[in-house]
């Protein structure tokens, strides 16, 4: 992190309409011959945030990939404002900003060039650099970044996607405490605009008023979790 304190706000994007709703109903997913997700349901409205928790192998990343439209469930429904996301995967891809465990940066391109590839109309690359404290690294090739710096770059890419649905697989992986603060600001700003956020995590994240879905995993005799819309 640089010595100067980055600006408090994250880049703004278009507001998400208040009536927006993401719904999953009884999702089941096999990986190999193992039923990894068994009847997962959730309902999230504009401004909501959900934390996906559970032990290694419980299916958190699998669920995120299904929610991103990258993998079809073996059964169950997944809708955005009442319409199946699989009716128009391209439209769903436009509304999703997804980061997995891998930061998926092009090693030979600079931080700015990597971000430029993902900058959608209306997004400001300079604001995203500022929000993730990347200005000093903007011209550095991605191959020279540390793990935390790569993660910050991947998060800046999320900001630039201008997407109403953020799906973040362990977003704080490798981040120092200052960068986690920046992540918290970015997530709060996204929700304040009506964005929906779902994040997997093994550690506490700087998020208020979240709901949680705990996937117990195969060795746990409890049924898989169902979120019915009550906040803790
Ligand atoms: N390509 C694959 N083929 C078969 N099984 C797979 C495949 N990829 C993952 N799995 C299995 O699916 C299950 C769920 O994996 P997933 O990555 O969704 O778990 P997770 O909850 O995100 O775990 P972690 O906390 O370790 O990130 C695991 O048992 C894993 O072994």
Task: Quote the Cα angle for 45-46-52, to 5°.
Answer: 60
Total-model pTM: 0.89
Asked whether the CA dihedral 190, 196, 198, 203 is positive or negative, the reply is positive
Task: Give pLDDT tens digits for 59-87.
Answer: 999 999 999 999 999 999 999 999 999 99
- Tell me the C-alpha to C-alpha distance, in Å, between residue 161 and each of 13, 61, 95, 210: 9, 20, 8, 23
d(CA 149, CA 146): 5
Domain 21-105+164-214 homologous superfamily, CATH: P-loop containing nucleotide triphosphate hydrolases (3.40.50.300)
Is the Cβ atom of 54 under 6 angstroms away from ligand 1?
Answer: yes
- CA-closest residue to ligand 1 atom 16: 59
Beta bridge pairs of residue 141: 110
Is the Cβ atom of 29 under 6 angstroms away from ligand 1?
Answer: no
DSSP reduced 3-state for 45: strand
DSSP notation for 49-104: EEEEE-STTSSHHHHHHHHTTSS--SEEEEEETTEEGGG-HHHHHHHEEEE-SS--
Q: Is the pLDDT of residue 2 over 70?
A: no
Q: How confident is the model at residue 15 (pLDDT cuts 50, 70, 90)?
A: confident
Q: Is the pLDDT of residue 230 over 60?
A: no
Q: What is the ipTM of this complex?
A: 0.96
Q: Which atom, in ligand 1's list, is nearest to the CA of 218?
A: 29
Task: Give pLDDT tens digits for 182-212.
Answer: 999 999 999 999 999 999 999 999 999 999 9
Asked whether the CA dihedral 215, 66, 93, 44 is positive or negative, the reply is negative
Q: How far is the CA of 133 from the centre of ligand 1 (A)?
A: 32
Task: Quote the Cα angle for 184-208-9, to 5°.
Answer: 35
Q: Would you list the domain boundaries of the chain? A: 21-105+164-214
């Amino acid at each position: 992190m640089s010595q100067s304190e980055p600006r408090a706000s994250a880049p703004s994007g278009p507001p998400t309409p208040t009536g927006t709703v993401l719904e999953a109903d009884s999702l089941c997913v096999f990986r190999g011959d193992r039923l990894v997700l068994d009847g997962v349901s959730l309902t999230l409205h504009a401004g909501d945030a959900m934390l996906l928790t559970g032990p290694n192998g419980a299916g958190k990343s699998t669920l995120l990939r299904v929610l991103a439209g990258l993998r079809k469930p073996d059964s169950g429904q997944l809708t955005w404002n009442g319409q199946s996301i699989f009716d128009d995967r391209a439209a769903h891809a436009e509304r999703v900003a997804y980061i997995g465990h891998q930061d998926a940066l092009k090693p030979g391109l600079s931080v700015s060039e990597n971000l430029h590839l993902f900058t959608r109309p209306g997004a400001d690359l300079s604001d995203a650099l500022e929000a993730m404290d990347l200005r000093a690294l903007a011209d550095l090739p991605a191959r020279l970044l540390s793990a935390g710096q790569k993660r910050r770059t991947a998060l800046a890419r999320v900001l630039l996607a201008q997407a109403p649905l953020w799906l973040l697989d362990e977003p704080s992986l490798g981040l120092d405490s200052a960068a986690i603060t920046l992540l918290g600001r970015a997530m709060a700003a996204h929700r304040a605009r009506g964005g929906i956020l779902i994040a997997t995590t093994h550690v506490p994240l700087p998020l208020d008023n979240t709901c949680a879905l705990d996937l117990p995993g195969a060795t746990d005799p409890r049924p898989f979790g169902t979120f019915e819309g009550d906040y803790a």
